[in-house]
Amino acid sequence: MPKTTPCLWFDGQAEQAAEFYVSLFPNSKILDVSRYGPDTPGTEGAVMTVGFSLDGQEYVGLNGGPQFPFTEAISFMISCGSQEEVDHYWYGLIAGGGEESQCGWLKDRFGVSWQVVPTALYELLGDPDPRRAHRATQAMLRMSRLDIAELRRAADETPAAG
């Protein structure tokens, strides 16, 4: 099967972004850096691309200029096994100017969109009892950073008799 490598288009911040991501994810590293040469669209000697690996998944950061900013149409999902992991990635990625959104979504300071999702959410949303799944969904829709305990509490909540 062919290997796919996401390529992220930055406006001069590819190296800083790669260093930032490598600092957050375990088993991660910068793989290579290439620079613009003479007679190229970039400034000679400036970083053109940065190859990096985040826990085994390879990426390329390209300093292509301001023409194509990031949007939420593409995001990277991080499946987390615990609240501690959720908090690590959530607070780490919004540090230094990132922006919270809703339902576990955020933009980091480079404008890249991420979804920080506890694996418990998948279990709750797929609960065989559709009422529990609905209550968990409604709780998720009210959250920015996903809170596993609160999601479980909402799913287990007994509706008031009416």
Taking the C-alpha atoms of residue 40 and residue 64, their distance in angstroms, rounded to an integer, is 11
pLDDT tens readout for residues 137-158: 999 999 999 999 999 999 999 8
Q: What global pTM score does this model have?
A: 0.92
> 54 and 117, same structural domain?
no
**Could you tell me the strand order of the sheet in which 113-118 lies?**
75-80, 113-118, 105-107, 99-100
Which residue, chain included where needed, has tokens 């909402």? 154
Q: What is the CATH number of the domain that holds 15?
A: 3.30.720.100
The tally of domains found in the chain comes to 2
State the residue range of the domain holding 128.
75-156
Contact present, 62 and 48 (Cβ < 8 Å): yes
Taking the C-alpha atoms of residue 156 and residue 104, their distance in angstroms, rounded to an integer, is 21
Q: What is the mean pLDDT of the chain?
A: 96
pLDDT tens readout for residues 26-63: 999 999 999 999 999 889 999 999 999 999 999 999 99
Which of 98, 102, 101, 91 has the alpha carbon at shortest distance from 112? Answer: 98
